[in-house]
Amino acid sequence: MNKVMLIGNVGKEPDVRYYDADQAVATVRLATTERGYTLQNGMKVPDRTDWHTLIFQRRLAQIVEKYVHTGDRLYVEGRLRYRTYDDQRGVRRTVTEINVENMEMLSPKGNTTTNAETTATEQHTDEQKASDEIPF
């Protein structure tokens, strides 16, 4: 079984590229941190941060483009993929990526709402007003 589950923070704005009319691929860098601790003998073990490259495709990539920003906390599930390429000097490089199949945003929404949320809220309010005005 090839399954990865991560919780971490987005390191920079997603890089989204479109191929064809509505087919998107988004790349996101995610930082996961293991907290440091102190051993019984007093030796301190520092925090350890690892960086992961996440690849989102199609509709999930479009969602990432709209709603995911630097500093957001994400939970992702996906599969490990390895890719090799030759760099500018001809040296073969291997890249480890996570092809994301499921994502959950863990950051609080804050005080700002997106256009979609605002529109949905306005529609619900308008529907409520209309139902209050019905005389029976």
Specify the pLDDT at position 129: 41
Question: Strand 92-105 and strand 48-57: pairing?
Answer: parallel
At 67, which helix (H) or strand (E)? helix 58-67
Specify the pLDDT at position 110: 57
Q: Give the integer Cα–Cα distance in Å for 127 and 120.
A: 11
Residue 121 has pLDDT above 90, yes or no: no
Predicted TM-score of the model (pTM): 0.72
pLDDT tens-digit profile of 17-63? Answer: 998 877 999 999 999 999 999 999 999 999 999 999 999 999 999 99
pLDDT, average across residues 87-114: 84
Do 54 and 84 contact (CB within 8 A), yes or no? Answer: no
Q: How many domains does the chain have?
A: 1
Domain containing 64: what range? 4-133
Query: For residue 89, what is the domain's CATH number?
Result: 2.40.50.140
> Residue 126: which residues within 8 A CB-CB, separation 6 or more?
none
Specify the pLDDT at position 22: 78
8-state DSSP, 52: E
